[in-house]
Amino acid sequence: MSGLMRYALQRLLLTIPMVFILLTVIFLVLRVMPGDPVSAMLGGRPVPPEVLQSYRVKMGFDKSLPVQYATYLGGILRGDFGSSTRTSTPVLEELLSRFPATIELALFGLLVAGILGFSTGILAATRADRPVDHGIRIFHIASFAMPLFWLGLMFQVFFAVKLKWLPVAGRLGGQMAFSFEPITGFYMLDAILRWDGKALADIARHLALPSLTLGIALTGLLGRVSRASMLEVLDQDYITTARAKGLSERIVVLRHALRNALIPIVTIFGLQFAALMGGAVLTETVFSWPGIASYLMRAISARDYPAIQGSVVFIALFISLINLIVDLFYSTIDPRVRY
């Protein structure tokens, strides 16, 4: 077995207790914390105790905690996330059908953050302590301090309401929402597969503001790491050597410094997926984006207990998977990493 394979297997085995603990924490938070889920589900209205009891039996809350825990874990292992009390459809089915929308948004958000953060960070590093650098650093810090939902709303006010360049919300506009038939659920991909230029343009226009919002919120961190990493590399002796040889600054930065500066940037990039999912909740709410985060929000406002739990477990599993992939990806970026 090769080193990478062995490491992958080891890492996979380590993921199991991690996921297990996360599932347990979720269970404890949702079941043991104050507040009765059944009366919460019924909206806190005065309900006859018999009715309350019948709901409790139906949802399995009359059993002891260990039994509930075992049922919960058993269900997840079998891929059974329960059924929504609001729509009575299986939660997992609903989540899977909405998942592509969230991923599409997250990927484009990551793309925006990557391009903006990386380019501004490198630019600031090569112009360290000059006005450009100061300006970019203020932009990075401001991007940290900005409430994401507010940024989204400001974009809506400016680009959608005032200038009317882009749609306010949703994934598809007007007629298109009825005529377009998705294949994979990733609309950009679907439009290309169907060779439908009009749909592609409409999808891109709808995707622009949400992904820009999500992306800018993450730009600050990426930009700062890029700047710091680049500065670190530019301080190295081999860069001085390259300059002393008479190479142009362009070649020094692009050919010699960039590759080594990339390693920490990629690390941070991968770790942003959790923040991205958190940001997606707000972005999806602001832009009425039909993803899993907006499903979770609707489940919360309807006190749809199985749906809340299912969404949280789903997100937890997904994040664990992403972290595993990112970890394995390092070796291809940094040849010094050997497993």
Partner 1 sequence: MSESYVTPPIRRSLLADGAVRLIRGITRGRHALRGQTVLKVGVVIVFAFLLMTALTQAWPAITGFHPTQYRDATRLEPPTTTHWMGTDQLQRDVFSRILGGGYASLVVAFAAVAMSMIAGSVLGWISGYTGGWLDRGLSLTMDAIYSFPSMILAIVLVAMFGSGIGPMIWAVGFVYIPTYFRVTRAEALQVRETTYVEAIKAVGAGRTRIILRHVAPNTVNAIMAVSSFNLADAILTVAALSFLGFGLPPPAPDWGFDIQNGQKYLQSGSWWMITFPGLMIITLSLGFGLIGEGISDLLNPRRRRKHV
Q: Which residues bind partner 1 (CB under 8 A)?
A: 17-19, 21-22, 25, 29-30, 33-35, 40, 128-129, 137, 141-142, 144-150, 153-154, 156-157, 161-162, 168, 224-225, 227-228, 231-232, 274-275, 277-279, 281-282, 285-286, 293, 296-297, 300-301, 308, 312, 315-316, 319-320, 323
With H, G, I as helix, E, B as strand and everything else as coil, classify residue 172: coil
Of 203 and 282, nearer to partner 1 (C-beta) is 282
Gap between the Cα atoms of 337 and 332, Å rounded? 8
Shortest Å, Cβ 1 to partner 1: 26
Shortest Å, Cβ 295 to partner 1: 12
DSSP string of 187-227?
Answer: HHHHHHHTT-HHHHHHHHHHHHHHHHHHHHHHHHHHHHHHH
Of 5 and 142, nearer to partner 1 (C-beta) is 142
Contact between 275 and 205 (Cβ < 8 Å): no
Of 199 and 308, nearer to partner 1 (C-beta) is 308
Shortest Å, Cβ 125 to partner 1: 9
Contact between 224 and 158 (Cβ < 8 Å): no
The DSSP call for residue 267 is H
Shortest Å, Cβ 161 to partner 1: 6
What are the residues facing 83 on neighbouring strands?
90
Of 180 and 318, nearer to partner 1 (C-beta) is 318
Shortest Å, Cβ 198 to partner 1: 25
Contact between 225 and 262 (Cβ < 8 Å): no
With H, G, I as helix, E, B as strand and everything else as coil, classify residue 8: helix
Q: Which two tokens stand for residue 135?
A: 């300006």
Of the candidates 231, 236, 261, which has an alpha carbon nearest to the alpha carbon of residue 334?
261
Of 173 and 194, nearer to partner 1 (C-beta) is 173
Of 115 and 154, nearer to partner 1 (C-beta) is 154
Shortest Å, Cβ 307 to partner 1: 11
Q: Which two tokens stand for residue 324?
A: 């595993």
